[in-house]
Chains A and B, each alone.
Chain A
């Protein structure tokens, strides 16, 4: 394509139309992505504030700021917001929506109207969830896990929160459905399955989990609502039911959902690292297949959340065994990322730093997970803050860190501007250090025996709790700094070049920000796959062709 066509400079997608209705009724995947982004960031701040306040309460033994019931409501709402409104949609709904069509070489998802509908379902679910704060006995106090029998008997707004989760689940299912169809049908001519970027593979594996696992929790939450209304005894032993059955049904979804959270994040890491190292990723096929393997195996390990609940010994052994298996494809990815960096031409960017922070955090999260998966060890740590720290290391230090990393990586593409690098690095450092102090202390005090979801604790746990709380202050400072940097730079940052990180995947070939239909030229695809830096010169020459 060298020097043949002169390409017209098009309007970017922001300039196509303006006004509120052109956004909330848009079918442009890029606008939908941003609609999700603003909602998700808002809910993240709400959830973060709840967490911050809880850590204040835990600064010292005894009650400081609230009574125990309020504390229960806080950690319930914190969990529901963070899990259903933030983490699960985060990467797929924001970066999946924005980048997937572009990275596949097309102009939108396969079912654009369904995409808009997904967003509306998300907003409706969010409003339903938030409403529970303002009437009756306030937000549910059952924990985000809604275990029976308390979720059946609690007099707080459990039913509404469950219905909100049902609606949000439906939003997630439809997004997954859309991505599966998009990946099957809309890849650019010449882009075979094994020439797709790894972010697409991550989203594909994720979409299958969203599709198949979510309906089960949907019906389970409905069962609890019906149980609250009719009192059948589905989960009530005095009426012949089994509370552990609820746990089975709940975790059949809620374990796979953690892979919904992490697979897209790993997909982003597989994008950031080749660009940072300026070389092809190591073991492309292994990473692609391991994404599918993680999705597959992840369906069969849910019982590891229930080791102390009363399952049979035989069941516990099966679940523990498969839990260890699922660590293998994950490890393969980590080794491949590190191998990619080896002898690469490394550019230290905030993207790479966030990615490195992720690898560090996820290593701790994953390894502590293995300890939880060991039957005997789990008896000791189950329901302690060790577990809380474990899942914050994976979900927060994992998924959310990568969400922020992706935000820094694709920022110039989305807003056409660059952020302040120095501020970005300072923010990251504060966040990373604060995070590890907060949750490192939590791991430790959990092993020492501090239970989770307790609003009070024994005096011997006080020091580590103080450390953890102070760590949270450092972390929040870093996060607020990061948000300030990004928000300011989106409006006033330096205009970005089209390919500031010298990437070779398709999103770096389109203008920053992209025009409505994404591509103003035929995508340049290498026959060697998506990470062939041999085409970098061709990609960077695209700018000369635009008037």
Chain B
């Protein structure tokens, strides 16, 4: 019989290009495609921002005075640092240093929590000043000013949701490293979680100047 290598031990043909084979490249490609959908999802909001900023140039500038550049800058540094630590955690895995990797992941999650805590203070401050939908101060704002605030809450809120999801994903990676299902030879889950995390950082890189650096 020819093609013996293509048959399994029951005599059935074995497909070399099976969808059930381990294929790390497929998982990576899938993750990148998913990231594209996230880019377009936030993209819709960026389109809305662009149009209303163009329309309400002055109003955006006025209301943005309430934004704290310091807090925004700190958060930017924190998030980029978290991208660093997650990248380093993958480097550590490639070097076979699983424990270092888990430590770095925990530091990343710590950075994420710092970011969210800062966000909490920021939002609380604004809400305290009545700058939230439904409050009196908000209702008395000029048309474009309310638009800025709404977009700020919607976009940073959606972004914050993604930080939470990303942090959970990274927690799962840490767990998998500890039980061995992610290891030096099987990194794709870790790398994909890292890709997701970097996307979250990328979105903030654009949000920061658009919401904080108007003066």
Instruction: List A residues at the B interface (Cβ < 8 Å).
Output: 4-8, 10, 29, 101, 104-112, 114, 173, 177-178, 180-182, 184-189, 211-216, 218-220, 223, 226, 230-234, 239-242, 245, 248-249, 517-522
Answer yes or no: B121 CB below 8 A from chain A CBs: no
A10 touches B17 (CB 8 A): no
| Chain A residues whose C-beta falls within 8 Å of the C-beta of B55 in the assembled complex | 240, 242
B11 touches A517 (CB 8 A): no
B12 touches A234 (CB 8 A): no
A240 touches B19 (CB 8 A): no
B13 touches A519 (CB 8 A): yes
Instruction: List B residues at the A interface (Cβ < 8 Å).
Output: 1-3, 6, 10-13, 15-20, 23, 25-27, 29-30, 33-34, 36-38, 40-45, 47-48, 51, 55-56, 133-134, 143-144, 146-147, 150, 154
| Chain A residues whose C-beta falls within 8 Å of the C-beta of B20 in the assembled complex | 107-108, 112
Most buried by B among A178, A185, A519: A185
* Given known contacts A112-B19, A519-B13, A520-B13, A234 and B48 CB-to-CB distance under 8 angstroms: yes
B13 touches A101 (CB 8 A): no
Give the nearest-CB partner of A219 in chain B. B44
CB distance from B28 to the nearest CB of A (A): 10
* Given known contacts A212-B37, A234-B48, A517 and B15 CB-to-CB distance under 8 angstroms: yes
CB distance from B5 to the nearest CB of A (A): 11
CB distance from A519 to the nearest CB of B (A): 6
CB distance from B35 to the nearest CB of A (A): 11
* Given known contacts A106-B17, A107-B18, A4 and B1 CB-to-CB distance under 8 angstroms: yes
A-B contact pairs, 14 of them (CB 8 A): A5-B2, A108-B20, A177-B34, A185-B26, A211-B37, A213-B40, A214-B37, A215-B43, A216-B43, A219-B42, A240-B55, A242-B55, A517-B12, A521-B13
| Chain A residues whose C-beta falls within 8 Å of the C-beta of B16 in the assembled complex | 189
A215 touches B38 (CB 8 A): yes
| Chain A residues whose C-beta falls within 8 Å of the C-beta of B147 in the assembled complex | 232-234, 240-241
State A180–B38 Cα separation when bound (angstroms): 17
| Chain B residues whose C-beta falls within 8 Å of the C-beta of A181 in the assembled complex | 26, 29-30, 33
Give the nearest-CB partner of A187 in chain B. B17
CB distance from B122 to the nearest CB of A (A): 19
A109 touches B15 (CB 8 A): no
CB distance from A247 to the nearest CB of B (A): 13
State A109–B29 Cα separation when bound (angstroms): 14
| Chain A residues whose C-beta falls within 8 Å of the C-beta of B6 in the assembled complex | 522
* Given known contacts A101-B19, A219-B45, A245 and B33 CB-to-CB distance under 8 angstroms: no
A239 touches B30 (CB 8 A): no
Give the nearest-CB partner of B59 in chain A. A240
Kindly identify which residue among A5, A110, A232 contacts B3, using a CB–CB cutoff of 8 Å.
A5
Give the nearest-CB partner of B18 in chain A. A107
| Chain B residues whose C-beta falls within 8 Å of the C-beta of A6 in the assembled complex | 1
Give the nearest-CB partner of B154 in chain A. A226
State A100–B1 Cα separation when bound (angstroms): 30
| Chain B residues whose C-beta falls within 8 Å of the C-beta of A211 in the assembled complex | 33, 36-37
State A241–B18 Cα separation when bound (angstroms): 52
A173 touches B48 (CB 8 A): no
State A245–B144 Cα separation when bound (angstroms): 15
B30 touches A232 (CB 8 A): no
